[in-house]
């Protein structure tokens, strides 16, 4: 007879005994049910967060840093200043490239617009994309990978005041957006994009990936780059050679502040820091949930230990009697293991329902994705292991009780 | 069946040493019905626990069914108790959350019998003690006498060679006590050796042999086998 058969053999009378004095067991089973519901959902959310944090933004995060440019002097020559700054930045040893942009992935601020693939399109034919207004160095500076067509040419680049129309713009789309606009294969190069004002924008290239600036945006991969950069609310981005970023950042700050006093350089940040800040909430959520899981597992484990210890004390005479009737120490341990297994299984059955209930509520309340059912069997297995491990010490103690307790009053 | 020579047992606590048994020697033959009497604290239960392999002893030798049991492992002692020994306790020691059927089943499961064999034995044993109709009852739904009969059925179901009873009638009124005793006599007459501790001289007299324990030692033997044979003859 193998161990599993032996366990199953014991289960019948243990279950019948359990159903007759069930108060403590019911409480622990409910605790197990709640534990299962919380840990499956918490782990699911953590996984979801980790998965989102692992999405590539398309940017060479390690080597890129950025800053805001704020002109304040009256009659400031913004365009001349931006061009001079970028020339100076690109000339710095250790700088791979520098560019001017309105926004970039992970920044959490930027703009989006609706575009259509043909002129005079109707409402539902427009699809939104993050709108990156950039220069001819942007792809290289961010480290984006061109997979079709070409990069912008210098002669296509215009500096544009914020409320003015685009001037002869051309566009580069992300692969995801190109596939959406020109299904099925996303052959966008040579085609034309139309904005809401019916401005025709020729598409010259496609990049593999560039996330929109907002990490919780539904269509995170839909982005488009346009060859008109902005004169106000501009940001400089700089790509350093590997290992040079931290040396370059203070140097760039110094260079720019000394070269021109008509504008401010602000919020100089590495892309690594921006990513950490942007995903900070996700990370904090994951840490809180891990703590909740650890705590609830400890509490439930202690509950199981407590119930088993109580039962060992309350059943001293019974355990002595079982020993007298021929139970070996292993049989006594097995009794408590099976009992705990039955309680956690009862909890698991209720908990499985509760898990989906909790998930349903969270889907509706917090707009989370629904729980993947695979988490339930994994959670149940964990609950079983928890139940068996937690009961081991009291079970061993029970098995050490003297058989003579059967005849001695306790 | 049971041969104890010069057995001693000392209980040590932080403060005191109690010589529960000293130089205790006793022979019980196969098929005998022996009653053990003696004042409270004289060592009767200690003797029974050692004889029934529930406790170990310090010095001396003990042969159970011809086998030296002093160096057996805990598991082997459990197996011997399960296969050869039946216990009846003063407090019945039924498991309160198990039905009569499941209570009788307890030692049979440890024995490893299959379901059919266990059912056959449980039904037979309950039949024998007249409680076949109560199989589904819980102990708390039975009288004391009935509970003790369930305990007897539990002890018998494994067909033990020897039955140890510690004050089996101690918690029963005299009518129920008589019923239980008659049942033990019946079991004994079918060949099972019985050693019964009692403080009731009335009951003790119905055994074949009476052993009086004083201060951890056998102080007196009384052999009733002649007397009971005479009584049986008279009754016939
Ligand atoms: N586990 C124990 N620890 C210490 N002393 C014990 C223990 N069990 C029994 N004794 C002592 O051993 C002596 C014999 O006890 P016992 O065999 O129970 O007597 P009886 O059954 O004749 O009343 C008593 O003095 C009792 O207090
Ligand atoms: Mg006693």
Over residues A90-108, mean pLDDT: 95
Contact A326 B93 (CB under 8 A): no
What would the pLDDT profile of A349-390 be if each residue is shown by its tens digit?
A: 999 999 999 988 988 888 778 888 888 999 999 999 999 999
* Longest pairwise C-alpha distance within chain A: 104
Residue B228 backbone dihedrals phi, psi, to 5 degrees: -70, -35
| Whether residue B198 has its Cβ less than 6 Å from ligand 1 | no
Question: Residue B141 gets which letter from DSSP?
Answer: G
| Whether residue B44 has its Cβ less than 6 Å from ligand 1 | yes
Q: Does A334 or A362 have the greater pLDDT score?
A: A334
What would the pLDDT profile of A6-59 be if each residue is shown by its tens digit?
A: 666 678 889 888 888 888 899 999 999 999 999 999 999 899 889 999 999 999
Contact B54 A406 (CB under 8 A): yes
* A400 vs B contacts (CB less than 8 Å): none
Name the residue in chain B with its Cα closest to that of A407: B89
Q: Which CATH architecture has domain B2-235?
A: 3-Layer(aba) Sandwich (3.40)
State the closest ligand 1 atom to the C-alpha of A407, by its place in the atom list counted from 1. Answer: 18
> Above 80 in pLDDT, residue B231?
no
pLDDT at B225 (0 to 100): 63
What would the pLDDT profile of A111-122 be if each residue is shown by its tens digit?
A: 999 999 999 888
Contact A315, A4 (CB under 8 A): no
Q: Is B185 on the interface with A (CB under 8 A)?
A: no
* % residues pLDDT > 90 (chain A): 73
What would the pLDDT profile of A187-222 be if each residue is shown by its tens digit?
A: 999 999 999 888 999 999 999 999 999 998 989 999
Taking alpha carbons only, the member of A329, A262, A169 closest to residue B79 is A329
Report domain extents, chain A.
3-54+280-408, 77-261
Q: What is the mean pLDDT of chain A?
A: 92
Q: Helix or strand or coil: residue A132?
A: strand
Burial string for B85-114 (b: 16+ CB within 10 Å, else e) reads bbbbbbbbbbbebbbbbbbbbbbbbbbebe
Contact A235, A66 (CB under 8 A): yes
CA distances from B226 to B205, B208, B222, B230 (A): 12, 8, 11, 6
Band of pLDDT at residue B236, cut at 50, 70 and 90 = very low
ipTM for the complex shown: 0.94
**CA dist., res. B76 & res. B67, Å (int):** 12
- The minimal CB distance from B107 to the residues A325, A329, A403 is found for A325
What would the pLDDT profile of A266-283 be if each residue is shown by its tens digit?
A: 889 999 999 999 999 899
Q: Is B61 on the interface with A (CB under 8 A)?
A: no
Band of pLDDT at residue B157, cut at 50, 70 and 90 = very high
**CA dist., res. A196 & res. A378, Å (int):** 50
What would the pLDDT profile of B200-226 be if each residue is shown by its tens digit?
A: 888 888 899 999 999 999 887 777 765
What would the pLDDT profile of A231-263 be if each residue is shown by its tens digit?
A: 888 999 999 999 999 999 999 999 998 888 788
Residue A170 backbone dihedrals phi, psi, to 5 degrees: -125, 160
Q: How far is the CA of A302 from the centre of ligand 2 (A)?
A: 38
Name the residue in chain B with its Cα closest to that of A21: B97
- The minimal CB distance from B74 to the residues A329, A404, A409 is found for A329
């Amino acid at each position: 007879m193998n161990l599993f058969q032996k366990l199953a053999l014991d289960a019948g009378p243990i279950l019948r005994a359990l159903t007759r004095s069930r108060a403590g067991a019911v409480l622990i089973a409910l605790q197990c049910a709640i534990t299962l519901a919380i840990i499956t959902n918490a782990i699911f959310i953590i996984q979801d967060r980790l998965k989102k944090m692992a999405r590539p933004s398309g940017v060479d995060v390690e080597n890129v840093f950025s800053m805001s440019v704020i002109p304040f002097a009256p009659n400031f020559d913004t365009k001349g200043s931006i061009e001079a700054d970028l020339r100076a930045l690109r000339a710095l040893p250790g700088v791979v490239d520098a560019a001017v942009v309105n926004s970039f992935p992970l920044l959490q601020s930027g703009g989006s617009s609706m575009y259509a693939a043909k002129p005079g399109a109707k409402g539902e034919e427009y699809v939104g994309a993050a709108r990156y207004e950039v220069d001819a160095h942007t792809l290289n500076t961010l480290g984006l990978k061109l997979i079709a067509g070409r990069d912008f040419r210098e002669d296509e680049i215009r500096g544009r005041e914020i409320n003015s129309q685009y001037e002869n713009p051309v566009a580069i789309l992300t692969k995801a957006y190109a596939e959406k606009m020109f299904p099925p294969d996303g052959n966008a190069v040579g085609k034309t994009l139309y904005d809401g004002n019916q401005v025709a924008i020729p598409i010259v290239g496609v990049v593999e990936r560039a996330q929109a600036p907002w990490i919780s945006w539904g269509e995170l991969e839909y982005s488009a780059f346009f060859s008109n950069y902005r004169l106000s609310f501009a940001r400089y981005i700089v790509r350093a050679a590997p290992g040079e970023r931290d040396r370059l950042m203070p140097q760039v700050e110094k260079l720019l502040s000394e070269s021109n006093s008509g504008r401010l350089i602000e919020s100089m940040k590495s892309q690594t820091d921006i990513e950490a800040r942007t995903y900070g909430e996700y990370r904090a959520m994951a840490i809180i949930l891990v703590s909740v899981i650890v705590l609830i597992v400890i509490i439930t484990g202690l509950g199981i230990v407590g119930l088993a210890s109580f039962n060992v004390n309350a059943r001293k005479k019974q355990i002595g009697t079982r020993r007298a009737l021929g139970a070996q120490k292993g049989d006594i341990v097995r009794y408590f293991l099976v009992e705990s297994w039955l309680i956690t299984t009862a909890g698991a059955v209720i908990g499985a329902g509760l898990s989906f209930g909790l998930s349903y509520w969270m889907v509706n309340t917090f707009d989370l994705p629904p729980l993947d059912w695979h988490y339930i069997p994994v959670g149940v297995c964990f609950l079983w292991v928890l139940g068996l491990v937690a009961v081991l010490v009291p079970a061993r103690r029970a098995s050490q009780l003297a058989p003579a307790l059967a005849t001695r009053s306790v | 069946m049971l041969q104890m020579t010069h057995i001693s047992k000392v209980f040590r606590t932080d403060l005191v040493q109690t010589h529960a048994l000293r130089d205790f020697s006793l022979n019980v033959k196969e098929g005998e019905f022996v009653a053990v009497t003696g004042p409270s604290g004289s060592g009767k239960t200690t003797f029974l626990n050692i004889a029934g392999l529930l406790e170990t002893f310090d010095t001396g030798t003990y042969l159970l069914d011809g086998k030296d049991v002093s160096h057996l492992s805990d598991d082997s002692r459990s197996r011997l108790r399960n296969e050869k020994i039946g216990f009846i306790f003063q407090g019945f020691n039924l498991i309160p959350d198990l039905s009569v059927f499941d209570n009788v089943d307890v030692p049979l499961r440890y024995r490893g019998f299959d379901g059919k064999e266990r059912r056959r034995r449980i039904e037979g044993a309950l039949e024998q003690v007249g409680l076949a109709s109560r199989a589904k009852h819980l102990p708390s739904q039975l009288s004391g006498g009935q509970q003790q009969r369930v305990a007897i059925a539990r002890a018998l179901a494994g067909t033990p060679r020897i039955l140890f009873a510690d004050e089996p009638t101690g918690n029963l009124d005299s009518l129920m006590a008589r019923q239980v005793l008659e049942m033990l006599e019946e079991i004994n007459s079918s060949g099972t050796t019985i050693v019964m501790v009692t403080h009731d001289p009335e009951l003790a007299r119905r055994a074949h042999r009476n052993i009086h324990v004083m201060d951890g030692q056998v102080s007196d033997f009384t052999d009733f086998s002649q007397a009971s044979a005479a009584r049986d003859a008279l009754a016939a």
